[in-house]
Amino acid sequence: MSETQPTITIIGCGYVGLTLAAVLAGAGFTVYAVEVNPKRLETIRQGRSFFYETGADPLIAAGVRSGRLIPTDSYEASVPNSAMIFSCVGTPDNPDGSSNLTYVFDAAGQALGLMRDGTVFVQKSTVPVGTGAKIAAMFDASGKKIRYVSCPEFSQEGTAIRDTLWYDRVVAGTSDPSAAKAVMAVHAAIEQNRGNIAKTAGLTPPKSLPAAEHLTVSLGSAELIKVSANAFLALKISFANSIAKLADQTGADILEVMEGTGSDRRIGRAFLGAGRGYGGGCFPKDVSGLIRTAEDHGADMEIMRAATEVNDSMPHYVIRKARAKLGGAGAEGDLRGKTVAVLGLSFKAGTSDLRRSPAVVMANSLAEQGASVRAYDPEAMDEAKSYLNDHITLAKNIDDAIAQTDCILIATDWPVFLVMDLPAVAKQSGATVLVDCMNRFNKAAVEAAGLTYVGVGR
């Protein structure tokens, strides 16, 4: 890496910021990682991530050891020394669904007083369209020559480092061509060094990779590209789940239906998996933020409201199906006196993130309906304590979770659950029902093991 490469500050070391900081340090940049939470900062200083993300820990450890990754809580020690600032702070949603931009404006305001002329300020956080224009105006009013760029991230939790290394597109929203060029140069450095970065992280490069697209667009377009992409993917999931409900009523198999639908190249197979719905820190927040932004500008996002309603219904739909199979009083069964194992709590495999996880919703709902619930997740047990109903028992391992149960819910498709010996599970647990909340099991294999299979749209 050339000595002329800029020193970079990352403000906010959450799921996006810490991943980016570790990758950039691996690419040879000197990176200040600004994190104001003392507990998180100490963990990073020890060369570890405070959340689970595949490949993160060895990459962070290597960066800290080399001195290229510098964890700090000080703007004063980092911002003045940096030619480029990436803002990666959180944008939680408000009760009305709008985006809380307090951290975004605070980060920009604190950095402004310390940035030198010519600094490129890059907004990575997902913000409503129009936010960047306000921050850029604030910078201009200061009299400093700060160049603002919106460069939204498109990584997924669980594969965030892989997505950052082998990105499919870089979007730079700005009216300053030189600032866009600087952002593209940083990503080019990642691309040039990704082989070594992947080796450090323990990741295997993809066998083939289409050339990445590099798009320079207007500031507002860049902001809207990010939320539009997430909203469309959320829409595909809710569409698949709507069809799954119809499949349940008509004897069709949603796996076959979506395979045939997704084989149309105009549609594609990605994000057409029916199941217990989406969650996490992006899709729910971005969809609600888009709806509210549209309202503020006199546009109606009725289609996204419908997608949200379908998604919110799915955990409860799955539980109703399971309850009916478990029997008891009433047409839909009764969970009182039943013991249920919930395997998987994170919103998706590969991450410890429990924010808005459908698995957590199901576990809590089962407990509220009278079931005795034991829950287990390979990576999210520490986080689970603050998300779960107090009456839910946190199991030590899979065996502990499934012992003497009536029903087993596979709520998140961690690989360790998908390779379980089903006949042994049935014998050990005594369960009669297996609920495949994400349609990942072979139905015939489950039934051959002596378990009643419950899927979504199957």
Q: In sequence order, what are the beta bridge partners of 173? A: 150, 217
Tokens matching residue 248: 């349940």
Q: Whole domain around residue 393: which residue ranges?
A: 218-458
pLDDT at position 354? 95
User: Does the structure show a pLDDT above 80 at 441?
Assistant: yes
120/263 same-domain check: no
DSSP 7: P
pLDDT in tens, 39-48: 999 999 999 9
**Domain-ending residue, one of 153, 181, 216:** 216
Strands 8-11 and 31-34: parallel
Q: In what order do the strands lie in the sheet with 169-173?
A: 69-72, 31-34, 8-11, 84-87, 120-123, 147-150, 169-173, 213-217
pLDDT in tens, 90-105: 998 888 888 899 999 9
Q: State the burial class of residue 81 (Cβ atoms within 10 Å of its Cβ: 0-12, 13-18, 19+).
A: middle
pLDDT in tens, 113-146: 999 999 999 999 999 999 999 999 999 999 999 9
Tokens matching residue 398: 């899979």
pTM: 0.90
pLDDT in tens, 165-220: 999 999 999 999 999 999 999 999 999 999 999 999 999 999 888 889 999 999 99
pLDDT in tens, 20-68: 999 999 999 999 999 999 999 999 999 999 999 999 999 999 999 999 9
Max distance between CA atoms of the chain, in angstroms, equals: 73
Q: State the burial class of residue 311 (Cβ atoms within 10 Å of its Cβ: 0-12, 13-18, 19+).
A: buried
Look-up: residue for tokens 């798009």? 215
222/79 same-domain check: no
C-alpha 180/C-alpha 173 separation (Å) is: 7
**Domain-ending residue, one of 190, 216, 242:** 216
**Residue 125 vs residues 50, 98, 393: alpha-carbon distances, Å:** 19, 15, 36
Mean pLDDT in the chain? 95
HSE value, Cβ hemisphere, 13 Å, CA-based, for 274 = 27
- CATH assignment at residue 48: 3.40.50.720
How does residue 262 score in pLDDT terms, banded at 50, 70 and 90?
very high
Q: Determine, yes or no, domain membership for 1.
A: no
Q: Are 69 and 46 in contact (CB under 8 A)?
A: no
Transcribe 415-450 into DSSP letters: HHHHT--HHHHHHHH--SEEEETTS-S-HHHHHHTT
Q: In sequence order, what are the beta bridge partners of 70? A: 32
Buried residues in 373-390 as b, exposed as e (16+ CB within 10 A): bbbbbbbbeebbeebbee
By 3-state DSSP, what share of the chain in percent is helix, strand and coil, each rounded to 5?
45, 15, 40
Q: Are 195 and 185 in contact (CB under 8 A)?
A: no
pLDDT at position 1? 40
186/235 same-domain check: no
Q: Are 293 and 129 in contact (CB under 8 A)?
A: yes
Strands 213-217 and 169-173: parallel
The whole-number average pLDDT for the span 334-358 is: 94
285/374 same-domain check: yes
- Catalytically active residues are 282
Q: Are 380 and 354 in contact (CB under 8 A)?
A: yes
State phi, psi for 169 to the nearest 5 degrees: -160, 150
C-alpha 423/C-alpha 292 separation (Å) is: 49
Helices (H) and strands (E) in the chain, counts: 17, 14
Q: Determine, yes or no, domain membership for 250.
A: yes
Number of domains in the chain: 2
Q: Determine, yes or no, domain membership for 171.
A: yes
238/357 same-domain check: yes
**Domain-ending residue, one of 216, 236, 269:** 216
Q: Determine, yes or no, domain membership for 3.
A: no
71/154 same-domain check: yes
302/420 same-domain check: yes
pLDDT at position 2? 43
